[in-house]
Amino acid sequence: MSIGSLALRLRAILFWCHLAVGATAGVVILIMSVTGAALGFERQIVDTIDGRERVSVPTAATRLPLDSLLARAAAGPASNVGVVVIKRDAAEPVTLRFQDRERAGLSIDPYTGAALPHRAPGRAQGVMQELRRWHRFVGQQDPRSWGRTTTGVANFAFFLLVLSGLYLWFPSRWTRAILRSLTVPAFRLTPKAREFNWHHVAGIWMWVPLVIVVGSGVFMSFEWPTQWLASAMGAAVDPARAASRTPAQAAAVVGTATRTTHAALEPMLQAALQRRPEWTQLQLVMPGLGDSDVTVTVSGGNTFRPDLRTVVTLDASSGAIRTIAGLSDLPFARRVRGWIRFAHTGEVLGFPGQLIATLASLAGVLLVYTGIALSLRRFTAWRARRARDATGA
């Protein structure tokens, strides 16, 4: 068998595998693509329709020190506060999240310490939550349900389709006419020719964004890509995960430990701020039972970029800095995973990145539609041939 014949046979095998995977996972991929496109500008849509939570900024006012703020909000260090989020924007409230995850978060005025009225989810936020549920779990309420597994498998199938498509979408013969038919969208064609053209145009032009969006979705759907990457880079176990407690260990700690006496929190914030003076957001993680650290994450510029974050760990009882870590100080696998979440939405590149990710989702919709349409046409033609052969026989 010649090399040319072998290449054609391999291409045929890859084509049928591509078609079979697409036909099997197409509906779920279509759901994820449609909802992904609708969620592309979620933050901007919610802020525009529902409005952002804001506070009145008094003339010549300064923020209260964090310790005073928490005390006035009746949420001091002895309470169940888990995370404090502070934005540089003067009109942004301070957000408290609690160690009891069932308890709703609390927004407080940074100038008075008064708790802001609880805001029920707005109309836009409710719609986005529903879209996100379909995007992640195929409409299931429980994140641990079969829906998560279904979208994870579909994500992986889509990734295989995108990778194999790069080979199938390019022609075996290169001429100007063929290249034009695969890269320039056409509208005045027969339905079959138009679907073929659109399928290739969407796949070729959006291949790189699709690899990033779909590949990051695979990382978020499963643990094994991170574990494999860590192992390939020489770290068999992710240090952060190795340090986490099992439920039994956590219960033992809660039963025997006492809460650490805290030093003042405001000096800790100021010490962390010196590491990134251009900060836009601070996130302070309070120590739990048996812990002796306070962690402050200082984000600058685009807060979705992990390379613009500095993590400062301080001794809870003395306020002394223990460690200062940036992205480069993390293991390679964790650095990659740090980019994954907001590479998936494009937010690491701001508005242009969101636009590209949204276009990639729309390309996914077009690929599924044209792929299914072409498959049905092929199936219909096959049945017609079978009928003619049977009649001729």
Q: Evaluate if residue 91 carries a pLDDT over 60.
A: yes
Ordered DSSP codes for 350-369:
HHHHHHHHHHHHHHHHHHHH
- Report the alpha-carbon distance of residue 128 to residue 43 in Å, rounded: 9
When the pLDDT of each residue in the chain is averaged and rounded to a whole number, the result is 86
What number is the average pLDDT over the span 180-185?
91
356-376 per-position pLDDT tens digit = 999 999 999 999 999 999 999
Taken as a whole, the chain contains a residue count of 393
292-324 per-position pLDDT tens digit = 889 999 998 877 889 999 999 999 888 899 999
pTM: 0.83
Q: Evaluate if residue 236 carries a pLDDT over 60.
A: no
Task: Give 19: exposed, middle or buried? Use CB within 10 Å, 0-12, 13-18, 19+.
Answer: middle
Task: Name the range with the highest mean pLDDT among 48-62, 76-90, 190-204, 275-289.
Answer: 190-204
- Report the alpha-carbon distance of residue 187 to residue 369 in Å, rounded: 16
Q: What is the pLDDT of residue 289?
A: 63
